[in-house]
Amino acid sequence: MTGRLAGKVALVTGAGSVGPGWGNGRATAVIFAREGARVLLVDRDAESVEVTAKQIRAEGGTVITQLADVTQPDDVETFVSACVDRLGGLDVLVNNVGGSRPGGVAELSAQDWQRQLDVNLTSVFLACKHAVPVLRARGGGSIVNIASASGLRWTGAAQVGYAAAKAGIIQLSRVTAVQYAPDRIRVNTVVPGQLHTPMVEARLAGQRAGGDVAKLLAQRQARIPLGFMGDGRDTAYAALFLASDESRFVTGTEIVVDGGMTARCD
């Protein structure tokens, strides 16, 4: 198979989706497979991740799935090992799992704060921890971590746990990139803005617009200078560049995918 990732093995966490359409994980997995990668899909939802896998198989790609909780060290160690054992190695890791919970410091419970850190940040730490030795032994590779514009700016709602964790991903990526650059392991971050992914209908509209999807979409689109919302495929194509050899001289940095939202000051 030819393509920008031909011959590479990629592991994508959060590769299912909370609903129909192009979430970041599903889009990344499908596009990577289209570009020639053999992919291991990790998710905790068996039905959802199988939808992604079926699409890849229907297009002739090579894919396996693994159910896991990315906040559990044993689960993470198991799926990294499974990637090596079943697909012959690991070249690209995409850490995509995440989710927000509303609330500022006075409103968010201590338990929810810790859960936000576990899901959004500790999951990235654990996957990197277990992937780096494999990538080092292989002679290098690429780690792509998915953060959020909430880690850079106020994006319309108080979600302090999510924002702090996503900011943490950016700095974790920079530190890891510099430390392991001599091993030819590149580490970069994709920072999506307010995309129209299945999460809008499944969760965010209920949290922020009383269940009114159209209202929430209008609010989000109004913040975007380009005047339209992207979707998970926009995140995936940024990740594709960072995963491919085209980005061989790119490490310790971020690609912001937000239609200009974080560049404006109002």
Residue 264 domain-assigned?
Answer: no
**Whole domain around residue 134: which residue ranges?**
9-198+233-248
Sign of CA dihedral 48, 50, 52, 55: negative
The share of the chain scoring above pLDDT 70, in percent, equals: 96
What pLDDT shows up at residue 1? 64
CB 44 within 8 A of CB 18: no
Distance CA 33, CA 26 (A): 11
CATH number at residue 159: 3.40.50.720
Domain count, the chain: 1
Instruction: Give the global pTM.
Output: 0.94
- Tokens coding 144: 């792509």
Give the pLDDT band of residue 206 (cuts 50, 70, 90): low
Residue 152 domain-assigned?
Answer: yes
Distance CA 222, CA 244 (A): 33
The DSSP code for 103 is B
CB 261 within 8 A of CB 149: yes
Residue 223 domain-assigned?
Answer: no
- Residue 162 catalytic? yes
- Of 150, 162, 165, 170, the active-site residue reads 162
Q: What is the pLDDT of residues 217-259, one digit of tens each?
A: 888 889 999 999 999 999 999 999 999 999 999 999 999 999 9
Q: What is the pLDDT of residues 129-184, one digit of tens each?
A: 999 999 999 999 999 999 999 999 999 889 999 999 999 999 999 999 999 999 99
Residue 159 domain-assigned?
Answer: yes
Residue 127 domain-assigned?
Answer: yes
- Residue 52 pLDDT greater than 60, yes or no: yes
Residue 208 domain-assigned?
Answer: no
